[in-house]
Amino acid sequence: MSSPPVPPSGPQSPWRLYDQALRALVMALAYVACASLMVMVLVTSAEVVLRLFRLSLTGAYDIVKIAAAITIAAALPYTTAIKGHVAIEYFFHKLGRRGRIVVDALMRLAGMALFSLLAWGCVDYGHSLRTRGEVSMTLQLPIFWVPYVLAVSCGLVVLIKAYHLAHPGKPMIKP
């Protein structure tokens, strides 16, 4: 028996590199979301235990608030990549095949436009927080970077929706 043919070892296509880089960024942000969720759990648990001894963890509210924003922002691209959002498809399935393709493409394009605007708005908001020198209430941590994380996530969602347009019916990442 002969072995299966080995693909030529040359440079990968730009689309394959783009796909791999996008998946790596999505997974990196998913790990950031997991770490941020763990921070929320640990800080909240520590605060509850300390309250039993009539003590408090200074800045717990600030930490949990920032971690919650990061968790939501960083989980958004992964949820989009696996097509994990809730959808009401009753009317969608009443359409014919061509109608579903058109409606799906229009919704993805509208989503791309919306998330592009959100990314731009988050960058603008982060810039205004930075120029004003905004900080958290208790710990006085600079918070301008949080909208920037959300902007990166929204930008990745735009790229994922473009991937879904090019590969209809196929999730980018298997959960």
pLDDT tens track for 69-78: 999 999 999 9
Question: Is the separation of the CB atoms in 31 and 7 below 8 Å?
Answer: no
Cβ–Cβ under 8 Å, residues 136 and 60: no
Can you give the chain as a three-state secondary structure string? CCCCCCCCCCCCCHHHHHHHHHHHHHHHHHHHHHHHHHHHHHHHHHHHHHHHCCCCCCCHHHHHHHHHHHHHHHHHHHHHHCCCCCCCCCCHHHCCHHHHHHHHHHHHHHHHHHHHHHHHHHHHHHHHHHHHCCECCCCCCECCHHHHHHHHHHHHHHHHHHHHHHCCCCCCCCC
pLDDT of residue 119: 98
Q: Which residue has the higher pLDDT, 167 or 31?
A: 31
- Residues above pLDDT 70, as percent of the chain: 93
Structure tokens at 38: 């763990």
Task: State residue 11's pLDDT score.
Answer: 63
Region for residue 133 given its phi and psi (left: phi exceeds 0; alpha: psi -120 to 50; beta: otherwise): left
Position 96 pLDDT exceeds 90: no
Using CB atoms within 10 Å of the CB of residue 137, give its burial: 0 to 12 exposed, 13 to 18 middle, 19+ buried: exposed
In angstroms, the Cα distances linking 131 to 55, 69, 77, 137 are: 36, 21, 28, 17
**pLDDT(25) > 60:** yes
Of 154, 148, 152, 75, nearest in space to 113 by CA: 154
